[in-house]
Amino acid sequence: MTVVSCPIEIVGVGPEAAQLLSELHARCFASGWSSISMQHLLHLPTTAAWLASNAAPCGFVVFSRVPPEAEIITIGTLPARRNTQIAQRLLSHAFTQLRDERIELIHLEVREGNTAAVGLYLKLGFREVGRRPNYYSVGTEREDARLFRLQL
C-alpha cells in the first residue's frame, strides 16, 4: 500500500470531547453512538481517549483500562484520511502513554471481515487468541469476532 503520511497532532481528551468524538464515530461506522453515550463512556475513570488532528480532527481511539490490562473500545479514521497511518500513529502514541500507566496487555475484538482493522492490528503485532463464532450480524449474514491481544 502506498502511504503518504501527513503531520498530525495527537492529544488526550475527556468528556469535553464527547460531541466531537460522537460525530467522528458516526462518520466512521454504520451505526453511530450518541453524544450522551460517548459522554457516559468518557466520564468513566477507566476510560482513556486520544484525538488526532491535522488542521481538523481526523481520527480517534477510546480505551478502557484497569492496570495491567486495557481494551480498545473503538477506533476510527475519517474515510477521506484513511491509509495515511493516522490509526497506526494514534495507537503508537496511546501505547506509549498506557505503558507509563503500567498497562502490559491490550485486548480487542474485531469483525473478521473488517480487513482494514485486521491489517492494522496484525501490523502492530497483535496476535489472535480466540474467536466468537457468528458474533456479528452483517446484513442477513453472520460473521465471527476475532479476539486479539498485544503484549506491550
Ligand X SMILES: CC(C)(COP(=O)(O)OP(=O)(O)OC[C@H]1O[C@@H](n2cnc3c(N)ncnc32)[C@H](O)[C@@H]1OP(=O)(O)O)[C@@H](O)C(=O)NCCC(=O)NCCS
Question: What x-and-dash track marks residues 52-91 binding ligand X by CB under 6 A?
Answer: -----------------------xxx----xxxxxxx---
Question: 480505551: which residue's cell?
Answer: 63
DSSP 104-125: -EEEEEEETT-HHHHHHHHHTT
User: Can 141 be counted among the known catalytic residues?
Assistant: no
- By CB under 6 A, residue 150 contacts ligand X: no
- By CB under 6 A, residue 116 contacts ligand X: yes
CB nearer ligand X, residue 43 or residue 123: 123
DSSP 39-67: HHHHHSTTEEEEEEEESEEEEEEEEEEET
In three-state secondary structure terms, 10 is: strand
- By CB under 6 A, residue 110 contacts ligand X: yes
Question: What x-and-dash track marks residues 6-35 binding ligand X by CB under 6 A?
Answer: ----------------------xx------
